[in-house]
Amino acid sequence: MPLSRRIALAAGAFAAAVLRRARLPAWALALAAASLAPAAIADTPLRASDFKMAGNATAMRVVLHFDREPNPRWFLLRGPHRLVIDLTDTDFLFDAKALKARGLVRNVRYGPLSDGVARLIIAAKGPFAVDKLDVVPDESGKGYRLAIDLEATSNRAFEQALADQAETTGSTTAPGKADRLGKPPAEPGEPGKRFTVVIDPGHGGIDGGAEGQKGTVEKAITLTFGAELRDKLVASGQYDVFMTRDSDIFLPLDERVRLARQHDADLFISIHADTINRKGIRGATVYTVSDKASDAEAQATADRENLSDALAGIEIKQEDHEVSDILVDLIRRETHTFSVKFARTLVDELSPTIELINNPRRSAGFRVLKAPDVPSVLVELGYLSNVKDEELLRDPKWRAKAADRIAAAVAQFAAIKVGTGG
């Protein structure tokens, strides 16, 4: 127990004993006790309880309850990415189960720091922005709640937040709405920022995806093709290229989105090779995201891909599509415009050399394409349910041609995006 607290408690006990020995009437004792109450409360530790987390790898809300109003001071640290919250002397009464890693949060630690100071540390899986950190009265009327909203962001945005933090003197004011998606990244072509592509080989680990008649497994073909496309883009020397996975591991859909944002991607390409009940249908398809599917087949494809998390036992929660922030809405619209531009360019590049399905540019509510600030497409290279498509997907020469055409589309799109300052 801190020395200051021990002294305060001892003084309070001594004063109470003196009052009792004075044999004062009850009303006088009550009045005297009331006069001592503020000091006693001030020297009593805060009580923090009911720690709760909700969200996913792209956005998390953390809430905890205090018996009286806290005065938190917070700052950011890297290596790993952490939010550090300092409080006055606090007793933490948390359920260990509530602190288990989930979504964007890697781990939670807490405890006394020094005499009269306690610290809560929330470590994240990658860079993040503090969208909100508010202390509000509890709805029950008893105590206060500390509510924290965290959102995955890019390394550049996190480093900028650290730089801004270093320039302030003791200021821990939460960022405003304009910073909700991180600081505006440097434009492609500026020093230190090259056009960045994130390639997402679909499925992986426990989620094998589709399987062809000759035993070709989707997770294997998407990883092979993803690596081949990466190598081709890297060889051009024009881009920074990352993969969401480069081995046979399972990644939740929102984790793939988080990685795209972490790398400050200018383009996200998710690679798949699905199956369909009609074995005669074959060819590649390029999808963008939309609230309403372009057709029944697109909806069915999105439904299958969105069930990836369920295969690994991850609870799928219904998302709230209401956009309440005008800034975020504008960013989403601009992102969607760029996604559609790349999809059109990609279809134009693929069509002379690669078999495409009828109406090859389609849309549906793919969860993996929902980064609000990263233009994103999902490419179905072909159908493993079709014998001819399966043979082509297994053919290195065909994959090389497909990778060449995608790389050409990336080059065109990069030139457009740089030219428009997007």
Q: What is the pLDDT of residue 292?
A: 84
196: nearest Cα among 371, 76, 395: 371
Q: 395 is in which domain, residue-wise?
A: 195-316+324-420
Asked if 202 and 219 touch (Cβ cutoff 8 Å), the reply is yes
The pLDDT assigned to 29 comes to 40
Contact criterion met (CB below 8 Å) for 62 and 120 = no
Token pair belonging to 136: 């509000």
Largest Cα span, the chain:
101
Cα–Cα distance for residue pair 254/58, rounded to 1 Å:
6
Q: Determine contact, residues 398/390, Cβ cutoff 8 Å.
A: no
The Cα–Cα gap between 126 and 107 comes to: 12
Total domains present in the chain: 2
What local confidence, expressed as pLDDT, does residue 32 receive?
42
Beta strands in 39-158 (DSSP E): 46-55, 59-66, 73-77, 82-88, 90-93, 105-114, 117-124, 128-137, 144-152
CATH number at residue 279: 3.40.630.40
For residues 279 and 368, state if they share a domain: yes
Q: Is residue 187 part of a domain?
A: no
Question: Is 6 within a domain?
Answer: no
Residue 330 inside a domain? The answer is: yes
CA dist 303 to 163, 221, 236, 306, 365, Å? 42, 21, 36, 5, 8
| Tokens, residue 237 | 């020397």
Note whether 211 and 273 are same-domain residues.
yes
**What pLDDT does 13 receive?**
44
**CATH classification of the domain holding 82:** 2.60.40.3500
Q: Which residues of the chain have pLDDT under 70?
A: 1-42, 169-192, 309-328, 418-422
Q: What is the pLDDT of residues 118-175, one digit of tens each?
A: 999 999 999 999 999 999 998 887 899 999 999 999 998 998 998 888 877 444 333 4
Domain boundary residue among 179, 204, 224?
179
Nearest to 301 by CA among 375, 191, 211, 210: 210
Torsion of CA 217, 220, 222, 223, to 10 degrees: 170
Please tell me whether residues 122 and 225 are part of one structural domain: no
| Burial track 192-215 (b if 16+ CB lie within 10 A, e otherwise) | eebbbbbbbbbbbeebebbbbeee
What's the pLDDT score for residue 40?
Answer: 45
Q: Is residue 87 part of a domain?
A: yes
